[in-house]
Amino acid sequence: MAVSMSEEKIVQVAAGYQLLTSNSLERYRAETFLSKEPETVAWIDTLFADGQVFFDIGANVGIYAIYAALRYPDSQLYAFEPYLKNINHLVANARLNGVKNLVPLYMGLSDGNGVEKLYVKDERFGASGSQIGSNVDEHGKAYEVLDEEFVPVMTVDSFVATMNVAVPDHIKIDVDGIESRIIRGMTHTLAQPRVKSVLVEVNLDAADFNELRQIFIAAGFRDDHELNRLPNHSRNRRKGTASEKAENIIFTRL
């Protein structure tokens, strides 16, 4: 769907940070940056340090990756996004903010290497919920496919090993469904002491939730950081909604 110039609007997100928006969804993301997921912003603000490496898996239009890149200009950011419209706006947003320390990557991450289909659920810029490999959402339900895109896919372990990329200090995973596949493809990376924290949006109802939690525990992480208990944590906003079983959990190195 083409976007007319009249629909485009630049929204001030925070001091020195703005985003290009082309629809109500992108404007919502920009306008609620500080309130939608306070724990994610606090995670970036308190656990990151300049000079570190950050992987944003499921970066959408770059809202958190660009914020981190601006806040920590000597750090290196890798933003992974498999939906073409989103990666295009991610690149535009990086340019809009003059970001030089962010690498936008049009690809997916999973538990294997190859080329897979992305089954598009929502065709808007800034949309989420599309899945790699099948048209099954995070609740295990099939959804109507509006489009299909072929995307390169790698494991995190393969990406780090073959692309001459440093092991990340921090990782964010927000993919609305295949987080289990991604985590199974990064066990070697998780074992590296350099990885200090991982923020992952999980489905508490998922059959493999406890298995995924044990992968982190076995790698030396814990899930009792104070950021998981913020009074304005997004779990409170989600109560009583269709996404109340989705929760951001921050795993930190012991």
Spell out the domains of the chain, with CATH numbers in brackets: 35-253 (3.40.50.150)
- Residue 241 predicted with pLDDT over 90: no
Question: What global pTM score does this model have?
Answer: 0.94
Q: Which tens digit of pLDDT belongs to each residue from 199-231? A: 999 988 877 888 999 999 999 999 999 999 999
SS3 of the chain: helix, strand, coil, percent, to 5: 35, 25, 40
Percent of all residues in the chain with a pLDDT value above 90, rounded to a whole number: 85
Q: Number of helices (H) and strands (E) in the chain: give both, helices first.
A: 10, 13
Provide the 10 A C-beta neighbour count for residue 60: 22
Which residues are CB-neighbours of 39 under 8 A, at least 6 positions away?
Answer: 199, 227, 228, 230, 233, 234, 248, 250
pLDDT value at position 4? 43
- Residue 1 predicted with pLDDT over 60: no
Q: Are 98 and 73 in contact, with CB atoms under 8 Å apart?
A: no
Mean pLDDT within 119-126: 97
